[in-house]
Amino acid sequence: MLPPPGDGPAGDAAVQRALDGSSSPDLSPQAERRLVQLGRAVWTAEVTGRGRQRWPGYFPDAEVRPYRRFRIQAAIARRAGGRRVVVHLVWAGASPSGSDDADSRTARVFLTREGDSRWTPTR
């Protein structure tokens, strides 16, 4: 059961439970935690501009119009074939113009494994 639109942070746990139930885990819990953390950092950089310098190849454009009141409501990581993983995110925030404050926006961040343990965001 999803929380009503506009429920704010109080509904985030329900959103996480729904996302967890959307597909079966296919990574170890430790790997999923690590990849979700990385995916969250990449998406935060995408919509706020904070941290983009960590991935200059992923963010070649320095200009960003940041979202306000940004938060990630829920996230999971799943295999995407080969050496790739996709982090599915549900997030909330107000558009740069401030006219569209909404919960339950969706996004995906793809991560590609390079070597044995390094993961890099790819488009």
Please state, for a pLDDT cut of 70, what percent of the chain lies above it.
97
82-93 per-position pLDDT tens digit? 999 999 999 999
Q: What structural domains does the chain harbor?
A: 31-122 (3.10.450)
Bigger pLDDT: 104 vs 82: 82
Q: Which strands sit side by side in the sheet containing 68-79, from one edge to the other?
A: 68-79, 84-94, 101-114, 118-122
| 11 has a pLDDT exceeding 80 | yes
Q: Report residue 8's pLDDT band, with 50, 70 and 90 as the boundaries.
A: confident
44-90 per-position pLDDT tens digit? 999 999 999 999 999 988 788 899 889 999 999 999 999 999 999 99
What one-letter code names the amino acid at 87?
V
pTM of the model: 0.92
| 4 has a pLDDT exceeding 80 | no
DSSP 44-113: HHHHH-TTGGG-TTT---------EEEEEEEEEEEE-STTEEEEEEEEEEE-TTSS-EEEEEEEEEEEEE
Q: Report residue 25's pLDDT band, with 50, 70 and 90 as the boundaries.
A: very high
pLDDT of residue 76: 98
